[in-house]
Amino acid sequence: MTNTTDPVTLRREGAVAVLQLNRPHALNALDVTTARAFHAACTTLAADDSVRAVLLCGAGRSFGVGGDLAALRNEPGAVALQLIEPLHASIQLLTRLRAPVIAALQGAVAGGSLSLALAADIAVAADDARFTLAYAGVGASCDVSGSWHLPRLVGLRQALAIALLNEPLDATEALRLGLVNRVVPAAALAGEAMVLAQRVATGPTQALGHLKRLLRQSLDTDLPTQLDAERDAFVACTQTQDFNEGLAAFFARRPPQFQGR
């Protein structure tokens, strides 16, 4: 995807894929066209083994204000399904990627856009970011994985307060609660997020994929099952070129040069 008028763009910077919501005039509100374009981009990412990190971002002054409510005024039930289904399929693709997903968040981060950001593996926020779950304000419940990720990130009690009270959170509070990993000056957000994406893109991609999967499943898996999964993943890692390189670098006392294979 290279057309800058598309509602979602996908471009490459080396091993990093930049996945951008691109409706700045609408503060990146999610309408059906955008949801479908986002799913198409995620499908492309899932099929490309050369991607070693994904940078998820929004064009303009906001990461995203959630669902486009204007689109829901007529036939809301039917439109909601058309909006939600491709976004839910996208969440499954993104969370299953071997490549780490880094979210860069600025301005308003609300509703479905916040739920989308919560699904990233690591989140960096600008100091001007403002977070609102927002669903209760329009008489709706969560979608786009918000109800799954939020309590896992902040705990059930905090998640309930965020959802039920619907109070906006600034970047400092979001960091304290664990909604984001880092807060940086707004002017530095794009650069800092890309540096982080490039850093994980030089890592052992297959091992990072196993780590993502193990950690994501751990809260829903009993200990014996998780131990078996850890064993199988570790053994699988020993068969990779990156594992051999990691051992060689360790004993040679030099930095490893991982290739993602």
If one counts every other C-beta atom within 10 angstroms of the C-beta of residue 19, the result is 24
* Domain 205-252 CATH (choose: 1.10.12, 2.60.120, 2.60.40, 3.30.70): 1.10.12
Which candidate in 31, 121, 128, 143 is catalytic? 143
**What is the model's pTM?**
0.94
Residue 94 identity (one-letter amino acid):
L
* Cα–Cα dist 254/107, whole Å: 41
Is 68 assigned a catalytic role? no
Residue 237 identity (one-letter amino acid):
C
Is 39 assigned a catalytic role? no
**pLDDT one digit per residue (tens) for the chain, 261 residues:** 445 789 999 999 999 999 999 999 999 999 999 999 999 999 999 999 999 999 999 999 999 999 988 888 888 889 899 999 999 999 999 999 999 999 999 999 999 999 999 999 999 999 999 999 999 999 999 999 999 999 999 999 999 999 999 999 999 999 999 999 999 999 999 999 999 999 999 999 999 999 999 999 999 999 999 999 999 999 999 999 999 999 999 999 999 999 999
- What residue segments make up the domains of the chain, in order of their start? 8-201, 205-252
Is residue 88 within 8 Å of residue 148, measured between CB atoms?
A: no
* Cα–Cα dist 201/99, whole Å: 8
Calculate helix-pair angle for 76-96, 205-218, nearest 10 degrees.
130
* Residue closest to 169 by CA, chosen among 132, 134, 138: 132
Structure letter (DSSP) for residue 49: T
Which candidate in 6, 88, 127, 170 is catalytic? 88
The predicted pLDDT at position 72 comes to 84
Beta strand residue intervals within the chain, DSSP E: 8-13, 16-21, 53-58, 101-105, 108-110, 122-126, 130-132, 169-170, 182-184
In this structure, which topology does domain 8-201 adopt according to CATH? Answer: 2-enoyl-CoA Hydratase; Chain A, domain 1 (3.90.226)
